[in-house]
Structure 1
């Protein structure tokens, strides 16, 4: 197995996003008149997805509580001379009023057709030791907020001239199975899968719901898990990466945020019109292979 870097290694940061790494698709609805709302847009997969959609010509309204991080995403979009644009909207996903106001503001930028529920968080602890307040906060951000955003976005999609659009939820291999010490994260991801199917059931065929499930992605959220997991399990950080994160995978390398973002680009496009209620599982062989 290829040696993986320690947490302090500079290589635990993904390479810069360049236009040649973005999947570009021809789609009549990928224009500046079309709005895609993306949560978690200040960093990681959310940032990469906001950038990729803007490069594809969409107007992206990026939501995050981290205003400085959002500004960094806007700067990256502008540096790439993207066909679309990024609008930064500071939003607390635990606040119902903030969520409704963010969708209202997004609707002023064009016709909302797409929503990517990506914002996530993690806490490593066993169920008996899991802080209840942390459970509540994670569920608010990772399950309640996607539900409320879908509630407010769906009428905008339905009001377009053809009712075509999609809501995508960032699931995970942990939406497929469970591992120890991540009970809240796993519960939220399984819930998102149910929300995805419910959106598809109510979308009349043109408003689609789908999810994206991947393994470990090289993001700040993932890097922060290494020390926590090492401490919880009493193993080294190198063992966390090699045995816990990549041990079960067949593809022995971490995924990059832009690779995940490209799945959202495809899923939102007309090329994916039969992706409805289903899951884009790009997990390197985590879930359906064994030795």
Structure 2
């Protein structure tokens, strides 16, 4: 197939995509905050948690996207509820407000820090305003979210809860032209471990690291990488992105969402400070 014929789009969510777990804390009295809930992995995670019976408060700057996420959860007849709150994650006041909005809905127990962005450029040419924005959204905002949410989790009757951070294979190794993203993802490893260190065992911190996921962000990244390296989109997907992998397909947003569902469940109570690495063999194999 010619590169011009290669169409890239994120897959539509379906009701059968999601892992369902019977868990004592998965009910509408308990609340999960999900950032980046208007699209991609954040949307899938919000819907997946609502499908497991939780009340979900979705934070995103895209209000219309949040409405669409709510419509999907309703269409799937989720046993939980979704409530979107338009939030600028670079604004500390907005972050505090969305956690308070979550507390108004029930007991805050879970946070999924998923919101992210990407910019493709070498370090010498990397715009510092883009660097600052990436770090604000993907590292500073998760820290602030943890700062606001941890007291609420600790104040529940048993102190049980978890904060899950969307990391990446780029939190384990580096490739060129993604320095800000890589810096943020490596920093999330430290934040995750710090949450675990301060969580007294019942409030856990964990991260999720995956390879390439077919999201709207990834579609844009493929196009940007093709332009940056002078390659076709097909060459970017098959040679750059999947070339080192042993599993030769991208993950779907729902597959990543299921890792957060598991990570928040009581089945993962020993996952504390650790990372769920589902990367198709990128990190620990080579030719």
Q: TM-score, normalised by structure 1?
A: 0.97
Q: Does 1:128 align with 2:144?
A: no
Which residue of structure 2 lines up, in the alignment, with residue 117 of structure 1? Answer: 113
Superposition map of 1:47-66 within 5 A: 47-66=43-62
Which residue of structure 1 lines up, in the alignment, with residue 30 of structure 2? Answer: 34
CA distance in 2: counterparts of 1:32 and 1:9, whole angstroms:
43
Which residue of structure 2 lines up, in the alignment, with residue 143 of structure 1? Answer: 139
Count matched residues: 287
Q: Does 1:13 align with 2:22?
A: no
The runs of 5 or more residues in structure 2 that have no matched partner are: none
1:124-176 CA distances to partner (integer Å, 9 max, x unpaired)? 00000000000011110000000000000000000000000000000000000
Superposition map of 1:66-215 within 5 A: 66-215=62-211
Q: 1:207 to 1:7 in 2, by over 3 A?
A: farther
Which residue of structure 2 lines up, in the alignment, with residue 279 of structure 1? Answer: 275
Deviation at 1:6, TM superposition (A): 5.3
Deviation at 1:21, TM superposition (A): 1.4
RMSD value, Cα = 1.2
Deviation at 1:111, TM superposition (A): 0.2
CA distance in 2: counterparts of 1:228 and 1:148, whole angstroms:
30
Which residue of structure 2 lines up, in the alignment, with residue 227 of structure 1? Answer: 223
Deviation at 1:258, TM superposition (A): 0.1
Q: 1:8 to 1:156 in 2, by over 3 A?
A: farther
CA distance in 1: counterparts of 2:9 and 2:86, whole angstroms:
27
CA distance in 2: counterparts of 1:260 and 1:135, whole angstroms:
26
Q: TM-score, normalised by structure 2?
A: 0.98
Q: Do the aligned partners of 2:8 and 2:219 also contact (CA within 8 Å) in 1?
A: no
1:199-257 CA distances to partner (integer Å, 9 max, x unpaired)? 00000000000000000000000000112111111111111001111000000001000
Runs of 4+ in 1 over 3 A off after TM superposition: 5-11
Of 95-104 and 145-154, deviating more is: 95-104
Q: Do the aligned partners of 2:139 and 2:188 also contact (CA within 8 Å) in 1?
A: yes
Aligned with 2:123: secondary structure? coil
Deviation at 1:20, TM superposition (A): 1.7
Q: Does 1:267 align with 2:250?
A: no
Aligned with 2:109: secondary structure? strand
CA distance in 2: counterparts of 1:31 and 1:161, whole angstroms:
15
